[in-house]
Structure 1
C-alpha cells in the first residue's frame, strides 16, 4: 500500500498529456478544492478524477462477493466502501460549490484517452451553451 501513488499516476499523466495536446491548460492535484481533484480546468470549473477500478470499487456488486472470499476481506470491503462514500461526498461538495465533476476509470483512460478528452470537450461545450442561455435571459 505504501507504494501506491496519490498523484502523477500513469493514468493521470496520460490524460493530462492528451488534454495538453488539445490545447487545454489545467491545474493538477488542486488542494483548494474538496477531494483534491487530479485535474481541474479552472476556467470552466471542471474537476476531473482518474479513479483506479479496484480502490474505487468499479462494479462493486461483482467485486464485493469476490473480496468476501479473499484474505483480509473485512479490511478491503470497509476500505473500498469508504472510498466510494468519500467519492460521493466529494462530488456533492464540488457540485454545491458550482463545479462540474467528471470521473474516469483508469482502464477507460488507458484504452481510449481521446474519448475521455472528447467527454471533457462536450462538457465544456454544454457549459458554454448554458452560460449563453443565461446571458440571453438576463438581457
Structure 2
C-alpha cells in the first residue's frame, strides 16, 4: 500500500515530530513533580542531553518512543513497508547513539534509565518505578551521596 499523503505532505508531517517536550516526556515529568522530585531538563553539558536529569541523585532519564528507538514491544518492532531500508538503518543508528550516550554517562558516574513510551500506559507501574528510582541514592566510593557542583539547586 502506498502512503496516503503526497511526498510534500509526508515531509511536512515528519517535520512536526518533536524531539523534546513530547507527550510521553510530559507525562513522566508530571509524575516526578507529583512525587516531589526536583529535576532539570535537557542538560546540554551531559552526553546525549538526557530528557530529565536529577542532579542530586546523579540520575539521567531518557524517555524513548518505542518506534524511534527500536523497543522490543509491538510498536517498536513494527517496520514501515515503504522505504524499509531507510527506517531499519535509522532505528539502528538511534540505538547505537543511545548506547554510546548511556556508556558515556555511566563513565561520568551517572545512573542512566530509559523509560519507554509503552510503559506509560500503566500509571501505577510508572509511579512505582519512579519511586524506586528516587529511593535509590547514588553514592560515591566514599559512601556519601554525590552532588553535582554545577547544579544550582
Matched, 1:48 2:57: no
Question: Is contact 2:39–2:55 with CA below 8 Å preserved after alignment?
Answer: yes
**TM superposition shift of 1:29:** 1.2
What TM-score results when the alignment is normalised by the length of structure 2? 0.75
Structure 2 equivalent of residue 101 of structure 1: 112
Measure the CA separation in 2 of the matches of 1:119 and 1:80: 29
Structure 2 equivalent of residue 134 of structure 1: 143
- Report the secondary structure of 1:92's partner residue: helix
Over 3 Å off, 4+ runs: 130-133
Unaligned runs of 5+ in 2: 1-13, 145-153
Structure 1 equivalent of residue 47 of structure 2: 34
Question: Is contact 1:50–1:104 with CA below 8 Å preserved after alignment?
Answer: yes
Q: 1:119 to 1:107 in 2, by over 3 A?
A: farther
Measure the CA separation in 2 of the matches of 1:118 and 1:29: 21
Question: Is contact 1:51–1:103 with CA below 8 Å preserved after alignment?
Answer: yes
- Report the secondary structure of 1:43's partner residue: helix
- Report the secondary structure of 1:54's partner residue: helix
**TM superposition shift of 1:117:** 1.4
What TM-score results when the alignment is normalised by the length of structure 1? 0.81
Structure 2 equivalent of residue 115 of structure 1: 128
Question: Is contact 1:104–1:116 with CA below 8 Å preserved after alignment?
Answer: no
Aligned residues: 127
Give 1:92's match in structure 2, choosing from 103, 117, 124.
Answer: 103
Structure 1 equivalent of residue 85 of structure 2: 74
Q: 1:16-40 deviations in whole A, cap 9, x for unaligned? A: 1111111111001111111010000
Structure 1 equivalent of residue 33 of structure 2: 20
